[in-house]
């Protein structure tokens, strides 16, 4: 399943068109509405609640983005819904709530955060919750994850949905994962057997030969995260589309 044309032509706002100084925290309903108003696609992140709901939130813990502390996964969807995001007015939305706001008006690039803790095979609950929330959604979207096991599970649950791998140089300081695992993932070996049709690759690592190899073989190449018009122009020499923040692409 190829990416919809909208995700190749419409610049994608990273975690929505967020600006906390203007009351639009990342991954918030306010950031989604701002992206819709500008006609941008939206990249969003999913974590799992204690009662098995897909929640639109980037971090594993509440500390950075709210006044609460502790893991997202320790709270129910109802409890998370009433926790205000720092700098905003709304709480943490479920994926269903987010989809109701977007209502197909702009394309969505949906990242499932690794639930295994080591980019391994202990996945399934978030993938199932995501598939259920998206089952009757009529807008353009694609799903992706750093964890190839997650993407493989999504292929089983949503075989007709475009799916991809989030990829980078996997710095050892950024991942609490064994170096041999990271070394393997750097070369994107799982692209074919998980049924991916695209990668979303770190802009700082676009010169990796494997990226060019995948592009030559027909893969769509997206990238993250662009933060200036100059960086966008440079990246577009290689990529099909950009995920951006901090300026208007």
Q: Would you place residue 88 in the very low, low, confident or very high pLDDT band (cuts 50, 70, 90)?
A: very high
Percent of the chain at pLDDT exceeding 90 = 100
168 and 189 in contact (C-beta within 8 Å)? no
| Residue 150 in this model has a pLDDT that exceeds 90 | yes
Percent of the chain at pLDDT exceeding 70 = 100
- Residue range 104-133: average pLDDT? 98
Enumerate domains of the chain plus CATH numbers.
5-244 (3.20.20.190)
pLDDT tens digits for range 154-163: 999 999 999 9
N residues, the chain: 249
Please tell me the predicted confidence (pLDDT) of residue 140. Answer: 98
Q: What DSSP element (H or E) covers 149? A: helix 148-157
Measure Cα distances from 40 to 5, 22, 66, 197, 246 in Å.
13, 18, 26, 22, 14
pTM of the complete model beyond 0.95: yes
Per-residue HEC secondary structure of 196-222 comes to CCEEEEEHHHCCCHHHHHHHHCCCEEE
Please tell me the predicted confidence (pLDDT) of residue 109. Answer: 99
Q: Produce one character per residue of 4-41: b if its CB has 16 or more CB atoms within 10 Å, e if not.
A: bebbbebbbbbbbbbbbeebbbbbbbbbbbbbbeeebb
pLDDT tens digits for range 5-64: 999 999 999 999 999 999 999 999 999 999 999 999 999 999 999 999 999 999 999 999
- Residue range 190-210: average pLDDT? 98
Handedness of CA 154, 156, 157, 160 (dihedral sign): positive
Q: Would you place residue 141 in the very low, low, confident or very high pLDDT band (cuts 50, 70, 90)?
A: very high
Please tell me the predicted confidence (pLDDT) of residue 202. Answer: 98
- Gyration radius of the chain over CA positions: 17
Q: Would you place residue 1 in the very low, low, confident or very high pLDDT band (cuts 50, 70, 90)?
A: confident
- Residue range 80-96: average pLDDT? 97
Across the chain, what does the average pLDDT equal?
98
Please tell me the predicted confidence (pLDDT) of residue 37. Answer: 98
Q: Is 43 helix (H, G, I), strand (E, B) or coil?
A: strand
Residue 84: DSSP 8-state: P
| Residue 212 in this model has a pLDDT that exceeds 90 | yes
């Amino acid at each position: 399943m190829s990416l919809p044309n909208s995700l190749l032509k419409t610049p994608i706002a990273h975690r929505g068109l967020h600006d906390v100084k203007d009351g639009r925290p990342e991954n918030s309903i306010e950031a989604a509405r701002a992206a819709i108003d500008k006609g941008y696609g939206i990249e969003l992140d999913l974590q799992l609640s204690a009662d098995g709901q897909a929640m639109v939130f980037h971090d594993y813990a509440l500390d950075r983005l709210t006044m609460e502390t502790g893991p997202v996964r320790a709270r129910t969807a109802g409890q998370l819904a009433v926790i205000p995001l720092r700098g905003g007015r709304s709480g943490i939305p479920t994926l269903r709530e987010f989809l109701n706001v977007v209502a197909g008006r702009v394309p969505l690039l949906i990242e499932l955060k690794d639930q295994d803790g080591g980019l391994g095979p202990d996945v399934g609950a978030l993938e199932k919750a995501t598939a259920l929330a998206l089952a009757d959604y009529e807008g353009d979207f694609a799903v992706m994850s750093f964890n190839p096991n997650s993407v493989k599970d999504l292929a089983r649950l949503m075989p007709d949905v475009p799916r991809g791998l989030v990829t980078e140089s996997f710095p050892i300081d950024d991942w609490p994962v064994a170096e041999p695992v990271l070394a393997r993932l750097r070369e994107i070996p799982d692209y074919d057997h998980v049924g991916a049709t695209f990668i979303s690759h770190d802009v700082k690592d676009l010169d990796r030969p494997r990226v060019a190899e995948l592009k030559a073989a027909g893969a769509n190449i997206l990238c993250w995260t662009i933060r200036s018009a100059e960086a966008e122009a440079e990246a577009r020499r290689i990529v099909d589309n950009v995920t951006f923040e901090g300026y208007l692409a």
